[in-house]
Amino acid sequence: MKLSVIIVNYNVKYFLEQCLYSVQRALKNIEGEVFVVDNNSVDGSCEMLRHKFTDIHLIENKKNYGFSYANNQAIKISTGEYVLLLNPDTLVEEDTFTKICDFMDMHPDAGGLGVKMIDGNGNFLPESKRGLPTPWVAFYKIFGLSRLFPKSAKFNRYHLGFLDKDDINEVEILSGAFMLIRKATLDKTGLLDETFFMYGEDIDLSYRILKAGYKNYYFPKTTIIHYKGESTKKGSINYVLVFYNAMIIFARKHFTQKRAHLFNLLINFAIYFRAGLSILKRFLLNIFIPVIDFLVIYLGYWFFLPFWEHYKFPVGGSYKPFYLHFMVPLYIFIWIISILFSGGYDKPIKIPKTIKGLGVGTILILVMYSLMREDFRFSRALILLGSFWALISTFAVRLILHFSKFPNAQLHIKYLKKIIIVGRNVECARVSEMLQQTGLHYNLLGFVSPSSKTQMSGFIGHLNQIQDMTRINKIDEIIFCSKDISSQKIIKTMLKLSNADVSYKIASPDSVSIIGSNSIDTAGELYTIDINSIAKSENVRNKRMFDLLIALLMLVILPVMIIVVNRRLGFIKNIFNVIIGSLSWVGYSTKQNVNIYSLPKIKTGVLSPDDIVVAKKHSKESIEKLNMFYAKNYRIWTDLMIILKRIKELGR
């Protein structure tokens, strides 16, 4: 056996599917085997593998033991001369495996090899080649000097920026996303160190390969796509903690005590520094627009209040300072809270929801005003003037932030994305139909033939014309049908258009997924048939508010409900579980062990959608359809109907 390909999967079913299609093509001219080790995924990955890829070796772990442990499971039973550790969110060219094995055959001193990697938009990924993260190398990276001097041999040694990305070179560290290792080298160095749960294991193994007397090579004569960010979300605080903790483990293992101590100090400082910056940045971005709204509305009151006082009290007089210092901030606070719960601060920003929030807030303020004591009723007209100013000012603020491209402040504008599909008739038609089912707003300009020799009628052009086609028609997105066009052609086209402002998607054969990624900072994007209505931020928030309101109402009318419900203690327990957020009043049905893993995640429910249908027993198929319908077409009224219909069962 020449090559053993090992893929560790964790909840990236559609990316894994696309990866395996490309791996199958790349193995056509080479004797190889494929192992997929699944670390207890709950997205239906294993079911997909058993159905579509019957020739792979599947190892199903019932617990996530980590990346190193999972790889070692497969390495121990692999029989290939070479072992390739491959991420599931990658796509390889048809001749990738042939080229890398030939290179290793011709270089017996090579212990490991990495290749040129690009993201889903054709941009080179600098981690394709890396240097050893010594304390100073890590310092330059952590504090941004490597970005300031990208070509410096001193300041950017972490990503070896001084080496040409298109030349074969010896490197120190290989990327775990694509890491080819000679099996004889592993016999000498040992397997991956399972102390590293995730991250750092590739650095550790690369370094051990060098210490064993072998060389690591960067080999850019083949290119792969790596949808960077999909296996793990790299913007999170958890990523910072896990990654830098891996660096500490590496330092303790390989550096002298003095250097390891220095490295640990640096890394610990970096952890708190980066985590602190991440928390602060997220907090400031989340509160920035509400704070601006508050200040602008308050300044408006401060400006027009004297004019209104002059009109209201022509012979002299004014409102008490209490009004401007307490009542006005209270009004503004109510408006902002109303905008929040109306979804006006969701991203991207939707102006109609902001208007709705201001309207609801104004009604609440007027109701509150009518219930107040006489000495707190200052002026209805000022409330209405304030709401009018709030409407104008919030709209203006959002326009300014949108056109200045302020982070997290883009408006939701129904822009028809211009799309072309590259493939043959049958596959283009299938992908086009899939797009229609996603509910996306787009403008399909037409189909593009993969070859000028087989251009078909009704097509707007062929692949060789893609540059002119993209420029003239101002294409926003290109979807490649991987059944009709090779991975190599897809990658070459992406590299050719890397300077164009266009994004890419790849439709796997016989799949319901269309996958892509915009940049190194953007996690993989995925078009699938839309069943995510219940997972939308506004629905998550509304469902939680509904649960809380119903729970509080049940507490108020508890003496009556005790008589109505069947299981009184269970009902009281459920009320408090809903209040603390561990339960919802309505969730998916799990009867007959139906699969709910492919649906958006929600809290376990006291009741479920099948409670609304009068039937003694539901089939497994009917329960799955009810769950699907509930997820896709969620409305608060659905929850209310289920509760009213099964109110006696709230003590389950």
Domain covering 3-129+165-232, topology: Spore Coat Polysaccharide Biosynthesis Protein SpsA; Chain A (3.90.550)
Say which residue, 54 or 310, is predicted with more confidence: 54
Our CA angle for 383, 387, 390, nearest 5°, is: 135
**In this predicted model, what pLDDT tens digit does every residue of 43-57 receive, in sequence order?**
778 888 988 899 999
Whether 489 shows a pLDDT value over 50: the answer reads yes
Q: Give the model's pLDDT for residue 330.
A: 92
Strand pairing of 215-226 and 90-91? antiparallel
Q: What is the pLDDT of residues 315-367, one digit of tens each?
A: 777 788 888 889 899 999 999 999 988 888 888 888 999 999 999 999 999 98
Select 417-529's CATH number: 3.40.50.2300, 3.40.50.20, 3.40.50.720, 3.40.50.11740: 3.40.50.720
d(CA 169, CA 599) in angstroms, rounded, equals: 46
Tally the residues of the chain: 652
What own/partner pairs with CB < 8 Å and gap ≥ 24 does 522-529 have?
A: 522/120, 522/229, 523/227, 523/229, 523/230, 523/233, 524/15, 524/89, 524/120, 524/227, 524/229, 524/230, 525/120, 526/14, 527/434, 527/435, 527/438, 527/440, 528/14, 528/438, 529/434, 529/437, 529/438
Give the rounded percent of residues in the chain with a pLDDT score beyond 70: 86
d(CA 236, CA 120): 21
Amino acid at 341: F
Query: Within its chain, how far is the Cα of 63 from the centroid?
Result: 23
Calculate the average pLDDT of the chain. 83
Q: Are 525 and 506 in contact (CB under 8 A)?
A: no
Statement: residue 158 has pLDDT above 70: yes
pLDDT at position 230 is 42
Comparison of pLDDT for 413 and 388, the residue scoring more: 388
CB of 75 closer than 8 Å to CB of 186:
yes
pLDDT tens, residue by residue, 75-121: 999 999 999 999 998 999 999 999 999 999 999 999 999 999 998 88
Q: For the chain, which residues make up each domain, given as ranges? A: 3-129+165-232, 233-413, 417-529, 534-649
Residue 231 has pLDDT above 50, yes or no: no
Give the residue, 618 or 222, on which the prediction is more confident: 222
Please tell me the distance from the alpha carbon of residue 428 to that of residue 425, in angstroms, as a whole number. 5
Work out the angle at residue 426's Cα, subtended by the Cα atoms of residues 420 and 429, and round it to the nearest 5 degrees: 45
Q: For the chain, how many helices (H) and strands (E)?
A: 22, 18
Q: Cis peptide before 509, with omega less than 30 degrees from 0? A: no
Q: Are 149 and 220 in contact (CB under 8 A)?
A: no
